[in-house]
Chain A
Amino acid sequence: GAGVSQSPSNKVTEKGKDVELRCDPISGHTALYWYRQRLGQGLEFLIYFQGNSAPDKSGLPSDRFSAERTGESVSTLTIQRTQQEDSAVYLCASSLGGVNQPQHFGDGTRLSIL
């Protein structure tokens, strides 16, 4: 069956440009999560969507970061006015929702800011 799909797989852009990353969750998964992983570091939580509830944005590092999700489908993570410290792998995960449900990750988008 189809897993979590992310696009693009790689993105190289100049400092100051805006970027948009896409995540298509596993069909039927109501919860969707975005994480960031800098080189050699652990995963940092960014944002969490559960159904039609208000998203948990507590991990977004600045107001340059935003994310949207329409219903229980595709989500986009947008980074405005990119900075070099935004270079990282951005990972999307989905689950059936609930604290005990495991999260399944996509292959990630590797973002490089020149």
Chain B
Amino acid sequence: QKEVEQNSGPLSVPEGAIASLNCTYSDRGSQSFFWYRQYSGKSPELIMFIYSNGDKEDGRFTAQLNKASQYVSLLIRDSQPSDSATYLCAVNAGGTSYGKLTFGQGTILTVHP
């Protein structure tokens, strides 16, 4: 069973702080990793994607991938109340699972003023 695990939270951070969201996956052969943001009652919105070990930065967001340890994280700098949402980690294992994403349960992030 290929699994993606996230802390459900809620994770609460003050405005302006760094929010750190973590995700682990069980399939060592996984090839690509995605972070989605989902506001309540809305559909998932792509935030970041990463394929190679290391860091990838886009504005206030940094994705970090460590394939040896099988974890991927998302850092949100200068957190804003508008960042309050559920963050979904998704993994594409490739191989016979070529097309589908396996999602974690999501981490609820609350940024308080």
Interface residues of A (CB under 8 A from B): 31, 33, 35, 41-45, 48, 50, 56, 58-59, 89, 91, 99-100, 102-108
Contact = CB atoms under 8 A, between A and B. Distances in A.
A102 B49 contact: yes
Given A42-B88, A105-B45, A108-B43, A99 B34 contact: no
Contacts of B34: 102-103
Contacts of B36: 105
- Interface residues of B: mostly helix, strand, loop or mixed? strand
B53 to A, nearest CB: 15
B43 A106 contact: yes
Nearest to A43: B103
B99 A31 contact: yes
State which size class the interface on B falls in.
20 to 34
A44 B2 CA distance: 12
Interface of B: 31-32, 34, 36, 42-46, 49, 51, 88, 90, 92, 94, 98-106
Task: Indicate the member of B43, B44, B102, B104 with the most A CB atoms within 10 Å.
Answer: B43
26 contacts: A33-B101, A35-B103, A42-B104, A43-B101, A44-B103, A48-B100, A50-B99, A58-B100, A91-B43, A91-B44, A99-B32, A99-B92, A99-B94, A99-B98, A99-B99, A100-B32, A100-B49, A100-B51, A100-B92, A102-B34, A102-B46, A103-B34, A103-B46, A105-B44, A106-B43, A107-B43
A107 B49 CA distance: 20
